[in-house]
Structure formats: structure tokens, C-alpha cells
Amino acid sequence: MKGKFFIIVLLVFMICGCYSLRKKFVRKKKVTGEMPVYVDFKTYQEPKSQRIYEDYYLFARGWLEELIKSLTFTGNKKKQKQAIDEALMNIEQMMVFLNQEGKEELSLIYEELLKIKEKIYSSFLNDIEKELIVKKIEKILHKLHSQFSWSEIAKWRK
């Protein structure tokens, strides 16, 4: 019985062949022609400048608040450095939306933050220096809120 089954299977392989098995292991020829490129031309809407400015404004305020929290409670030097760097970067981005007069006003805040950055990057801050920096940052936050929110910069917009 086993022998007859083996002979039948052998005959089936001989008649049909192993084409599918051979096809599996034979390399296909490479296509040398160029593939067609599809380019979709769309008109993209320009992002609203108000939303972008408000994002930079909120990020700057958030990072300054984070710096105050870090100076007051945690004392994490790495977090303080990151917070002042990010706040400065966002204020630089805010300047793009302002005319020359607005840039001059915002550059005063920027220069104050650069002085604070030098103090933060110095080796050690005692508690008195930290308190002074916190007070300066709170004044800067108040100035940002009163002079540089979107509704307040109407006179300085480009």
C-alpha cells in the first residue's frame, strides 16, 4: 500500500514537474527602465500668522514660568538652562512678526534675558541671586503680557 502511494506521488511529480518550486528559487530579471514619477501639485494654505505668533508668545511665557519654578523649587541646573534657551529662541521668533519699532521694544526684553542667561550659566547661584532673577523674570512676564500679546501688537505688526 505504501509503495503504491509512493509510486503515484512520484508519477505526479514527473508528469507535472516542479515548476512552482523552481520558480520560487530562480532570480527575476531586473527592470532597467525608469519608474514613472507622480507629482501632485497642490496649493497649500499659508498658516495664519496670528496663530503662529500666539504659539511663540505662549511658548516664551511657558518657558519663563518653567524657569521661575525651577529656580524656586527644584534647582535643577540643566532644566534652568533649557528653559532660558527655549524662551530666548521663542522671543527671537516673535521678532519676525514685528516692525522695526516693535523689534526695538522686544529687544529690550531679549537683552535682559541674555543677562539672566549669563547668570544662570555661571557656576553657582545663591538664594538671594535666585530671588533677584525670579523677580526680574516676573517683571518680564508682566511686560510680555501687557505689551506683546496679539491684541497689543497691532501697532507693531508688519
Cell 526684553 found at: 109
- The whole-model pTM stands at 0.68
* pLDDT tens profile 108-131: 999 999 999 999 998 788 889 999
Higher pLDDT pick, 133 / 22: 133
Residue 77 has pLDDT above 70, yes or no: yes
Spatial CB neighbours of 98, under 8 Å, sequence gap ≥ 6: 105, 106, 153, 156, 157, 158
Residue 42: the pLDDT is 81
The whole-angstrom separation of Cα 62 and Cα 60 is 5
Residue ranges per structural domain of the chain: 49-155
> Domain 49-155: which topology?
Four Helix Bundle (Hemerythrin (Met), subunit A) (1.20.120)
Cell 534652568 found at: 80
Residue 71 has pLDDT above 70, yes or no: yes
Compute the average pLDDT of residues 14-29. 66
